[in-house]
Amino acid sequence: MIQLLPLLIDCAEVAIICPTYAEHAKCWSDHGHKIIEVSDLDKIPSTTDIAVVVSPNNPTGKEYDKTDLLRLAKNLKARNGFLVLDEAFGDVSDQTTPTTGLRLEGIVALKSFGKFFGLAGLRLGFAIGDTEIITKLHAALGPWAVSGIPMEVAIKAFCDTQWISSTRKTLANNRARLEQLLIQSGFNIAGGTSLFTYAQHPQAEQIFNLLCRAHILTRPFEHSPEKLRFGHPATEAEWDRLQNALKDA
């Protein structure tokens, strides 16, 4: 969907709240749209046709107020634009997202199975939202965009409420444990979700390299060289390995 939406729209001014997932800017830019990077919702120019907001955001974890998002979508709709709301990380929370139970006028919400459900290899996501835009997407995708097997897996994933509830609790506990470990290692917590922690340290670049030597990969950022993004260790042995590596760093 990220790659397809820019193809359906005539050249437009697209505001993207950054830092965020870089593929949004790349896809819109590759198809001739003018990209404006802004730091928050209130920085989006009145000339903007399309706004792209990732909520919860990657890497900061920031979530945007539902009322503010709906107001933005309404304003964009009034000038024949729309809001692209990327909710790929939205399933980590049991709270309702801005798209829950609403008529999504002026909104296209993007959903993913690759994050919370851990099904990145399924290569499956979907869009919900404004009827006019979804109709265009549906026509562009054609009748055979997704095969039956991924759809069956997706249905089972959504219906497994016991797994969803249990996983949310596990992720929340892991998040608290990881944040505590990082704080003990001299980091400041700059943000994150229950899937990752965004942490700040004055020697982040050196720590990144030292962790790499211990076969532990974190995510550095050119836009914020003092920050790293940490995922959760999978086993107790891996928790111990991260703790020991941070002590050495």
Confidence of residue 179 (pLDDT cuts 50, 70, 90): very high
Residue 183 CA to residue 187 CA, distance in Å, equals 5
pLDDT at 141: 87
pLDDT at 5: 87
Q: Specify the DSSP element, H or E, that contains 69.
A: helix 66-78
Report, as an integer, the average pLDDT of 221-246: 96
**pLDDT higher than 90, residue 29:** yes
Amino acid making up residue 209: N
pLDDT at 103: 65
Residue 163 CA to residue 151 CA, distance in Å, equals 18
pLDDT at 37: 96
Q: How many CA atoms lie within 13 A of 34 on its CB side?
A: 7
* Domain positions in the chain: 5-150, 162-248
CATH label, 5-150, candidates 1.10.3720.10, 3.90.79.10, 3.30.70.980, 3.40.640.10: 3.40.640.10
Across the chain, what does the average pLDDT equal?
92
CATH architecture of 162-248: Alpha-Beta Complex (3.90)
pLDDT at 96: 55
**pLDDT higher than 90, residue 4:** no
Weakest mean pLDDT among 25-39, 107-121, 133-147: 133-147
pLDDT at 99: 60
Q: What is the pLDDT of residues 91-138, one digit of tens each?
A: 998 765 556 555 678 999 999 999 999 999 888 999 999 888 999 999
Report, as an integer, the average pLDDT of 6-16: 89
**Which own/partner pairs from 38-46 qualify as long-range (CB within 8 Å, at least 24 positions apart)?**
41/17, 41/68, 41/69, 41/72, 43/15, 44/15, 44/17, 44/72, 45/13, 45/15
**pLDDT higher than 70, residue 34:** yes
Q: What is the pLDDT of residues 191-228, one digit of tens each?
A: 999 999 999 999 999 999 999 999 999 999 999 999 99
Residue 187 CA to residue 204 CA, distance in Å, equals 9
Q: In what order do the strands lie in the sheet with 188-192?
A: 188-192, 196-200, 227-231, 219-220
| Structure token digits, residue 52 | 């792209």
Confidence of residue 238 (pLDDT cuts 50, 70, 90): very high
| Structure token digits, residue 100 | 């829950």
Residue 182 CA to residue 138 CA, distance in Å, equals 45
Pairing relationship of beta strands 107-112 and 82-86 according to DSSP bridges? parallel
